[in-house]
A = this chain, B = another copy of it.
Amino acid sequence: MSLAFLINKVFRIMKSTLSQRTINRLTQYYTILRDYFKKNIQNITSSQISQLLDIDETQVRKDIKSINCKGKCKVGYNVVELKAIIENILDYKVIKKAFVIGAGNLGVALSKYSKFSEFGLEIECLFDSDNEKIGKIIDGKEIFDIAMLKDKVKNTGINIAILTTPNKVAQTVCNYLVESGIKYIWNFAPSILIVPKNVKVWHENIIGSFIQFCAIENIK
């Protein structure tokens, strides 16, 4: 058993014990660490992270302790070290490829979203049924005819789809994705999709996020 394998196993166990909220916060810490790293700043304190994100400092310390990173009193955490630990735990270095389904404004916006690649997500190409869109290139990614999806899944082995179609056709398109061999659907359409047990859907709840914001800040 190699050392790399062992380390990987430890990170995997760590990750499985983290809550969804913690994972969410870690990605936010990572955004800051990346900025500090680019600016050649060596250390960061929990108080700095806390202020930037408006998160309780005790929470920040607890999160970082939970991933086994130790800071120094009055100096803080080493930026390179903390960044590397989060990268490893959250698998940012393992590239996951995905298709964007629907080349409307949202599909195009997501295809252009620069942050994805930094976090290990790579958009392979887009699919649409609109002849006027098919063949166009978005940020180096081609828009293919949706009829070609099955072949593309087969040839590339990619099984993640990012669904951005309008609500009305979401379920029909979803059925087609399942038929074509897609196993994971990240759903941006505002509707609940029905899929077989071996397919997993992650409902992106943009409006739910806004409602949380309103509730927490008491926006009226």
Binding site for B on A (CB under 8 A): 15-16, 18, 20-21, 23-24, 27-28, 31-32, 35, 52-54, 90-91, 94, 96, 104-106, 108-110, 112-116, 119, 121, 160, 167, 184, 186, 190-192, 194, 200-217, 219-220
Contact = CB atoms under 8 A, between A and B. Distances in A.
Q: How many copies does the complex hold?
A: 2
Given A32-B192, A105-B108, A190-B115, A202 B207 contact: no
A35 B189 CA distance: 14
Contacts of A54: 200-201
B105 A219 contact: no
A31 B208 CA distance: 10
Contact of A213 (B109, B202, B213): B202
Given A27-B207, A214-B91, A96 B184 contact: no
Contacts of A109: 104-106, 109
B18 A203 contact: no
B105 A203 contact: no
